[in-house]
Amino acid sequence: MKRLFASSLLIQVMASGLRADYDPLLTAREQPEQKDLVVEDEKRSREIPIRVYLPTDQAAAPVVLFSHGLGGNREGSAFLGKHWAARGYVAVFVQHPGSDDGVWKDTPLAQRPASLKQAANLKNFLLRAQDIPAVLDQLKLWSMDTAHAFAGRLDLKRIGMSGHSFGAATTQAVSGQTFPVGQGATDPRIKAAVVMSPSGPVNGDTQQAFGEVKVPWMLLTGTKDTSIINRADAKSRLVVFPALPPGRKYELVLDKAEHSVFTERALLGETESRNPNHHRAILAVTTAFWDAYLRDDAEARKWLDGETVRSVLEKGDQWQKK
């Protein structure tokens, strides 16, 4: 009944030519569709599983990709995909073979940390970075296939990229980070990026790595965002934002949030009780970011750049923009 009322109210506001106060947490749409598919990358003889959350609206919608962390899969962080799709985005959750849950599933508990550390290597990083354009290429083919469920439903001129942990490194690589050697992996089709648990460059200067990022970036982390796999501490997550060029850049540091705050399950060694407002804040700021920079929504931009954004944050949370 509440959902029907919200939908009716939204329709009335639109019909009257007025606009209700911007609220990135409002979802007046029905529950999104969910489809599991596999992208066949023939050039690399590689299969890439994906989970797609589709809005119920049939019109073409902006596309947001998500790259999981080390040992994850396409099913993780579903709260993000469901909300983004309910807000009118096609959310594509990419699974990366070689650094997904296959790394640890059949491994004895005591050996799992070592298996995960072994998978956090350059080879898998490069495979991940190559998975993203492969998925985008396949999405384009599916969208042009009149017999496919995605026909006419993907706005591939408005693409966002996101990821957590190893997926954050993947996101950084394909959306503007530069590297001391090689040509980099930036994909010009990506128009904005959300980076959850960012990391500085393994080699080279931080300013050189991030000083040429041209698209909007939002960084999210926590005051207890540490990782036992690569020994990253919370302070190391904060080196990226100062190195980014000014203009359309944001950072949120959630008070007492641990590494798993961007997932639905606690990770080994974590001790903090879950704060339900953390997910609420993550959904609000990321949705407003997509609205602002994939939909060119002036009200969303105003919400992000003004003081209203603090209404979803708590006293100890740190928010900054430039």
- Alpha-carbon span 124 to 219, nearest angstrom: 23
Task: Find the mean pLDDT for residues 102-117.
Answer: 84
Per-residue confidence at 28, pLDDT binned at 50, 70, 90? low
Residue 114 has pLDDT above 90, yes or no: no
Q: Is the pLDDT of residue 20 over 70?
A: no
What does pLDDT average to over the chain? 91
In the predicted model, is pLDDT for residue 18 greater than 70?
Answer: no
H or E element at residue 122: helix 122-144
Q: Which residue has the higher pLDDT, 233 or 272?
A: 233
Q: Domains along the chain? A: 34-321 (3.40.50.1820)
Angle at which helices 166-174 and 122-144 cross, to 10°: 60
pLDDT given for residue 6 in this prediction = 44
Q: Which amino acid is at 77?
A: S
What CA–CA distance (Å, rounded) separates 136 from 160? Answer: 11
* Position 179 pLDDT exceeds 60: yes
Share of the chain above pLDDT 70, in %: 91
pLDDT of the residue at 10:
44
Q: Determine the pLDDT at residue 274.
A: 86
**pLDDT score recorded for residue 14:** 39
**CA-CA distance, 188 to 156, in Å (whole number)?**
12
Could you give the C-alpha distances from 105 to 72, 97, 110, 297, in angstroms and in order? Answer: 10, 13, 12, 43
Lateral strand order in the sheet of 217-224: 33-41, 46-54, 90-94, 61-67, 154-164, 190-196, 217-224, 249-258, 318-321
- Could you tell me the pLDDT band of residue 320, with boundaries at 50, 70 and 90? very high
pLDDT, tens only, 134-172:
999 999 999 999 999 999 999 999 999 999 999 999 999
Q: What is the pTM of this model?
A: 0.91
Q: What is the pLDDT of residues 182-236, one digit of tens each?
A: 667 999 999 999 999 999 998 889 999 999 999 999 999 999 999 877 778 999 9
Q: How confident is the model at residue 276 (pLDDT cuts 50, 70, 90)?
A: very high
Q: What is the percent of the chain where pLDDT is above 90?
A: 77
Look at 38-42, 264-268, 273-277, 291-295 and tell me which has the smallest mean pLDDT: 264-268
